[in-house]
Amino acid sequence: MEYKNLLIENDNGIVTLTINRPQALNSLNSETLTELGCALYQLEYDPAAKVIILTGAGEKAFVAGADIKEMSEMSAYEGHQFGRKGQNVMLAMGKMRTPLIAVVNGFALGGGLELALGCDFIYASAKAKLGFPEVTLGIMPGFGGTQNLPRLIGPNKANELIFTGKVITADKALAWGIANEVFPPEELMARAKETAAAIAGVGLLGVAYAKDAIANGLNMTKEDGFRYEASLFGVLFATADQKEGMGAFVEKRKAAFTGK
Ligand code: CO8
């Protein structure tokens, strides 16, 4: 499928999905959200897509937020619908079997930070700037930020970021546990691809079920989460990947996983 505002490239199972509206700092308009929803759906059911790297086109921005020009004309109902549309993209990312790495190459503001938080983890460029400036526009985060950020870093730090609208450096994002790693800009993509390749080389059913257990377990009591984990763990023993992974260990050879 051809997209107007997205670039999609698959290199040996590592898909780079780039938001491509550099003239508007890759801000998310309604059309881009529709395309993103479609592309993620398509990739989720593409066996050739093993890991997704999500990034923004150009040197300056990952995504500088939802499209303010488009939002400036919205009615309350349209704002609600637009918010739901963005939220549904973030929720879909959390439910995907495919791991998503956000490569935050520049500004990740508002809906852009929400998009990064919707991924499974974040790698940031040393020059990235992150924040939730929504309150400076008379609104609040609306693509899941008030839910995902406090779950990730706790309510107090999330409150400070969201209530002030201040923009923080990549190093601060690292210290606060928003980014897993910070790299010099010129190394960022290569380092993300190394991690993506490490994930693409293991048993992807194990990765998919672990993602499911982590995401759903966070909404359960610990005991229910343990029970859920056990049920997914048990299912993995019915897969070819488990036979291959353990067989390869016993035979002292490298496992050749098929994702089946
Ligand atoms: N929306 C639309 N256009 C944008 C956006 C945006 N978020 N960000 C930048 N642009 C455009 C600019 O308007 C400009 O276009 P033009 O040349 O046509 O005027 C172009 O991108 C380049 O931007 P700047 O000239 O402003 O570049 P600077 O280097 O001077 O500044 C900044 C870079 C600091 C990133 C600045 O562009 C900025 O502050 N952008 C807005 C950041 C922001 O406030 N983001 C949050 C938006 S709100 C949001 O994301 C809500 C999410 C939840 C929605 C729920 C709906 C209910």
Give the pLDDT band of residue 69 (cuts 50, 70, 90).
very high
Give the pLDDT band of residue 1 (cuts 50, 70, 90).
confident
Same domain, 157 and 128: yes
Domain count, the chain: 2
Task: Please report how the helices 145-153 and 111-118 are oriented relative to each other, as an axis angle in degrees rounded to 10.
Answer: 60
**Quick check: CB of 78 below 6 Å from ligand 1?**
no
Same domain, 211 and 196: no
Quickly tell me which residue has 């984990």 as its tokens.
229
**Does 124 map to a domain?**
yes
Whichever domain contains 223, its CATH number is 1.10.12
**Quick check: CB of 25 below 6 Å from ligand 1?**
yes
Domain C-terminal end among 162, 178, 200: 200
Q: Which of 25, 107, 169 to mutate to test the pocket of ligand 1 (most atoms within 8 A of CB)?
A: 25
**Quick check: CB of 69 below 6 Å from ligand 1?**
yes
Domain that holds residue 129: 6-200
**Quick check: CB of 210 below 6 Å from ligand 1?**
no
Same domain, 98 and 220: no
Same domain, 180 and 232: no
Same domain, 88 and 214: no
Same domain, 113 and 11: yes
**Does 127 map to a domain?**
yes
Whichever domain contains 68, its CATH number is 3.90.226.10
Same domain, 38 and 129: yes
Instruction: State the Cα–Cα distance between residues 98 and 94, nearest whole angstrom.
Output: 9
- As a 3-state breakdown, the chain gives helix, strand, coil percent values, each rounded to 5, of 50, 15, 30
**Does 112 map to a domain?**
yes
**Does 257 map to a domain?**
no
Same domain, 108 and 229: no
Same domain, 136 and 210: no
Say yes or no to pLDDT of 177 above 90: yes
- What lies within 8 Å, CB to CB, of 37 at 6+ separation is 85, 88, 89, 92
Ligand 1 centroid, distance to 208 Cα (angstroms): 35
Same domain, 190 and 218: no
Q: Quote the pLDDT of residue 157.
A: 98
Q: Amino acid identity, residue 181? A: E
What is the largest distance, in Å, between two alpha-carbon atoms of the chain? Answer: 64
**Does 255 map to a domain?**
no
**Quick check: CB of 131 below 6 Å from ligand 1?**
no
**Does 35 map to a domain?**
yes
User: If phi over 0 gives left and psi between -120 and 50 gives alpha, with beta otherwise, what is residue 6?
Assistant: beta
**Quick check: CB of 142 below 6 Å from ligand 1?**
yes
Closest protein CA for atom 16 of ligand 1: 24
Same domain, 147 and 230: no
Instruction: State the Cα–Cα distance between residues 213 and 209, nearest whole angstrom.
Output: 6
Active site positions, annotated: 114, 134
Domain C-terminal end among 200, 219, 236: 200
Q: Quote the pLDDT of residue 38.
A: 98
What's the whole-number mean pLDDT along residues 99-125? 98
pTM for this model (two decimals): 0.97
Q: Which atom of ligand 1 is nearest to the CA of 107?
A: 35
Same domain, 166 and 218: no
**Does 256 map to a domain?**
no
Say yes or no to pLDDT of 110 above 90: yes
Q: Quote the pLDDT of residue 49.
A: 97
Give the pLDDT band of residue 179 (cuts 50, 70, 90).
very high
Closest protein CA for atom 36 of ligand 1: 64
Ligand 1 centroid, distance to 99 Cα (angstroms): 28
Say yes or no to pLDDT of 88 above 90: yes
What length does the chain have?
260
What's the whole-number mean pLDDT along residues 228-243? 97
**Does 119 map to a domain?**
yes
Domain C-terminal end among 183, 200, 217: 200
Tell me what the pLDDT averaged over the chain comes to.
97
**Quick check: CB of 132 below 6 Å from ligand 1?**
no
Per residue in 124-140, pLDDT tens? Answer: 999 999 999 999 999 99
Q: Which of 27, 113, 136, 149 to mutate to test the pocket of ligand 1 (most atoms within 8 A of CB)?
A: 27
Say yes or no to pLDDT of 247 above 90: yes
Would you say 78 and 37 are in contact if contact means Cβ atoms under 8 Å apart?
no
